[in-house]
């Protein structure tokens, strides 16, 4: 099927890239299906979009926050009406199964309602002054033009985590969607416009990282950058932005561990493992990619997990009964294949999967078999490096302390899970696991929008989405109002 032609959105106008270059949005379940043709933008397009956002900032920043919030609330309502259509389009461009793309749109709806409430809060802090007849408070100000670079795995939810808090705070935005999944960002932004967002407040520049992402990061009028993607690209973004001291919010990789203790409800842990490891075809930064098994339950758990992994139905996410969709593109298939080879070479035991699926209907797309590796040791690369595919490693341990140590032994720190009935161990794990998120008796995926989302170590640089996002999208201004009609010198006139 030939794809529809889409344009950039700049200053409220839909326009082709100045170079005329385009990219194809391809259905990963059927690579002959072209979802759309999108601009492959470059620095020239980015400059126009930033200029439009800068112009719009002059007026948007003055719209009262509760009014800005009403547009977001309306956006949530419209998204709810459009949920099924947007979910279907998302499965077609990204591959994950319909139940999950409905969840992705729902996450944007949740974010809209959550952030809409912030329009009547945006709390500042009022404190007493140390001087008489002096009033002291601090208020949140918008930052200005924000550049956003979004990933393909949550093509509507993650752009909403970035756009909505930025907008409620009075910023204007230029967003570069992932080149694999621009349509969902278009659907999101079109919905914002239909809800009443003025022209130029959000601008879309689609394209590839080096040509469109890099100029956005470097543009002097872009005051802050929010990036979600790999740690390798995140490091690049941070270094480029550092040249002019631009704040950067980075949300990057994970190698998330689920610990299963000897007293765990094994059926529950199995369900969690399957969902955590193979949901979204393993393509979540929160995916369960290491399962740490207590030695006393390891054999049973492994046998049951492998059987259940083999029984998962892999296929086109739009078809009924499919549990695991394709990987997003050829490059991801190559990464999964390469890591399977590395794991075998390191001495891990391939228990199931380990290969691309190519027969019958699979020939048309980028499918990879749900894969389980046993006999994995914590030092192996397959236990340390992010695969971002349906590949999970099983590691055995003897004591709870050892499990925590293994869980913490990697460079990432996003999500963790512990399955146990022991409340004391649960609290110890909550305290000691080095990660931004810890689940007890639930898998490593499933974060809700109104809690902080992000991680430690190479997962992030200290910022959070969800609760905490406003700290990134606002800048503090401290305000002192002196009503004494005299010069009062702080630290001097009130000293003893
Ligand atoms: C991601 O993997 O990039 O917690 C985000 C979750 C989802 C968000 C994942 N709500 O798994």
Nearest partner of 197 among 303, 105, 73, judged by Cα? 73
137's tokens? 């408070």
CATH 3.40.309.10 boundaries in the chain: 256-440
Cβ–ligand 1 distance for 445 under 6 Å, the answer: yes
Give the catalytic positions in this structure.
Answer: 251, 285
Name residues whose C-beta falls within 8 Å of residue 475's C-beta, 6 or more positions apart in sequence.
Answer: 140, 141, 142, 143
Cβ–ligand 1 distance for 446 under 6 Å, the answer: yes
Tell me how far the alpha carbon of residue 284 lies from the centroid of ligand 1, in angstroms.
6
Q: Give phi and psi for 139, each to the nearest 5.
A: -125, 155
pLDDT of residue 73 exceeding 70, the answer is yes
Q: At what angle do helices 65-94 and 157-168 cross, to 10 degrees?
A: 170
**Residue pLDDT, tens place only, 387-412:** 999 999 999 999 999 999 999 999 99
Mean pLDDT along residues 302-320: 98
Mean pLDDT along residues 75-98: 98
Confidence (pLDDT) at 495: 84
**Residue pLDDT, tens place only, 136-186:** 999 999 999 999 999 999 999 999 999 999 999 999 999 999 999 999 999
Tokens 């490891």 correspond to what residue? Answer: 277
The CATH number given to 256-440 is: 3.40.309.10
Nearest partner of 184 among 262, 263, 97, 86, judged by Cα? 86
**Per-residue burial over 376-389, b = 16 or more CB atoms within 10 Å of its CB, e = otherwise:** bebebebbbbbbbb
Per DSSP, helices labelled H in 138-179 are 157-168
* 3 band by pLDDT with thresholds 50, 70 and 90: confident
Name residues whose C-beta falls within 8 Å of residue 124's C-beta, 6 or more positions apart in sequence.
Answer: 137, 138, 139, 140, 476
- For atom 3 of ligand 1, the residue with the nearest CA is 285
Question: Is domain 4-252+460-478 classified as CATH 3.40.605.10?
Answer: yes
Mutate to test the pocket of ligand 1, among 389, 445, 448, 459 (most ligand atoms within 8 A of CB): 445
| Dihedral class, residue 25 (left if φ above 0, else alpha if ψ from -120 to 50, else beta) | beta
Q: Is the dihedral of CA 345, 346, 352, 357 positive or negative?
A: negative
CATH 3.40.605.10 boundaries in the chain: 4-252+460-478
Cβ–ligand 1 distance for 154 under 6 Å, the answer: yes
pLDDT of residue 494 exceeding 90, the answer is no
**Residue pLDDT, tens place only, 147-158:** 999 999 999 999
> pTM above 0.95?
yes
Cβ–ligand 1 distance for 449 under 6 Å, the answer: no
């Amino acid at each position: 099927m030939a794809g529809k032609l889409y344009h950039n959105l700049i200053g409220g106008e839909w326009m082709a890239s100045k170079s005329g270059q385009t990219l194809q949005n391809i259905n990963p379940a059927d690579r002959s299906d072209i979802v759309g043709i999108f601009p492959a933008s470059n620095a020239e397009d980015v400059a126009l979009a930033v200029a439009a956002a800068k112009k719009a900032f002059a007026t948007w920043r003055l719209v009262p926050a509760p009014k800005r919030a009403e547009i977001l609330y309306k956006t949530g309502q419209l998204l709810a009406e459009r949920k099924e259509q947007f979910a279907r389009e998302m499965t077609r461009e990204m591959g994950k199964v319909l139940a999950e793309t409905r969840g992705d749109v729902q996450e944007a709806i949740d974010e809209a309602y959550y952030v809409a409430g912030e329009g009547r809060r945006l709390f500042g802090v009022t404190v007493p002054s140390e001087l008489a007849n002096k009033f002291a408070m601090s208020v949140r100000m918008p930052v200005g033009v924000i550049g956003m670079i979004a990933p393909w795995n949550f093509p509507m939810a993650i752009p909403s985590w970035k756009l909505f808090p930025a907008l409620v705070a009075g910023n204007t935005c230029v967003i570069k969607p992932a080149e694999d999944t621009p349509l969902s960002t278009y659907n999101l932004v079109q919905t914002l416009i239909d809800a009443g967002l003025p022209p130029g407040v959000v601008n879309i520049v689609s394209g590839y990282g080096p040509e469109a992402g890099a100029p956005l990061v470097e543009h002097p009028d872009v005051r802050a950058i929010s990036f979600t993607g790999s740690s390798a690209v995140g490091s690049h973004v941070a270094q480029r932005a550092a040249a002019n001291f631009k704040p950067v919010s980075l949300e990057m990789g994970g190698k998330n561990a689920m610990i299963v203790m000897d007293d765990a409800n094994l059926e529950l842990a199995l369900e969690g493992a399957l969902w955590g490891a193979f949901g979204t075809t393993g393509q979540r930064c929160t995916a369960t990619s290491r399962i740490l098994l207590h030695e006393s339950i390891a054999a049973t758990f492994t046998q049951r997990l492998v059987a259940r992994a083999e029984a998962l139905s892999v296929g086109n996410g739009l078809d009924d009964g499919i549990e695991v969709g394709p990987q997003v593109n050829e490059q991801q298939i190559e990464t999964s294949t390469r890591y399977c080879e590395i794991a075998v070479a390191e001495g891990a035991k391939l228990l199931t999967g380990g290969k691309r699926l190519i027969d019958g209907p699979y020939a048309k797309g980028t499918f990879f078999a749900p894969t389980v590796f046993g006999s994995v040791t914590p030092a192996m690369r397959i236990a340390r490096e992010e695969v971002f595919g349906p590949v999970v490693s099983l590691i055995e341990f003897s004591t709870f302390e050892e499990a925590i140590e293994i869980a913490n032994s990697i460079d990432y720190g996003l999500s963790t899970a512990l399955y146990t009935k022991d409340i004391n161990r649960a609290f110890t794990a909550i305290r000691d696991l080095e990660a931004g998120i810890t689940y007890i008796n639930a898998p490593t995926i499933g974060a809700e929008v109104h809690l902080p989302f992000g991680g430690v170590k190479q997962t992030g640089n200290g910022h959070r989405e969800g609760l905490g996002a406003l700290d990134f999208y606002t800048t503090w201004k401290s305000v002192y109002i002196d009503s004494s009609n005299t010069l009062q010198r702080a630290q001097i006139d009130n000293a003893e």
